[in-house]
Amino acid sequence: MRYFATALLTVAASPAFAAGEKGFFSLANTDFIVLIAFLLFVGILLYYKVPTMVGKMLDRRADTIKSELDEAKALREEAQSLLASYERKHKEVQEQAKRIVTSAKEEAQRAAATAKDDIASSITRRLAAAEEQIDAAQAAAIKDIRNQAVTVAVAAARDVIAKQMDAKGANTLVDEAIATVGEKLH
């Protein structure tokens, strides 16, 4: 009803209503015919409750848009939390990689120091072993030289004794040797 009253007031204020030979309410007046058609159209729309249906459709559309916005907001928040989580994980992985690299460098330095110490001790052991071998070879050479000197001295003594000794002197020496051996054995 409210719409109908608004339409009548609009028509009453119309300039065509005020100025007309046959009057505004004549079927020859096109403005009147358009007004009647418009009022019939508005009446049909009101009878079939089109404004209510359009309002409900707009409300449903507004609710749908609101739910989509809420869902988009929730998805955005979820995406931001995932992004923050991935950034934290990325930072943790970078820190872990730095720790691994630092640890590997320290381990390499320790391994290098250990290898240096091992090489130094190995060189010391080898030098000691070489010195021992040199000392053993020197002792063996000295022993061989002494043995040869003894052999040469014995041979020289035998030659000298053989030249100076006669049969009587040899028997005397043999008797003395037997006596000395007998004394030392008893």
Q: How does pLDDT run across 78-103, given as a tens digit for each residue?
A: 999 999 999 999 999 999 999 999 99
What is the pLDDT averaged over residues 13-37? 75
Q: What is the pLDDT of residues 143-183, one digit of tens each?
A: 888 888 878 877 777 777 777 767 777 778 778 888 888 78
Q: Is the pLDDT of residue 14 over 60?
A: no
The predicted pLDDT at position 15 comes to: 54
> DSSP readout, 94-160?
HHHHHHHHHHHHHHHHHHHHHHHHHHHHHHHHHHHHHHHHHHHHHHHHHHHHHHHHHHHHHHHHHHH
Q: The tokens 């049969």 sit on which residue?
A: 167
The predicted pLDDT at position 119 comes to: 92
Closest CA to 27 of 36, 40, 18: 36
Q: Can you tell me whether residue 17 is helix, strand or coil?
A: helix
Distance between CA atoms of residues 93 and 91, nearest Å = 5
Quickly state the pLDDT bin for 12 (edges 50, 70, 90): low
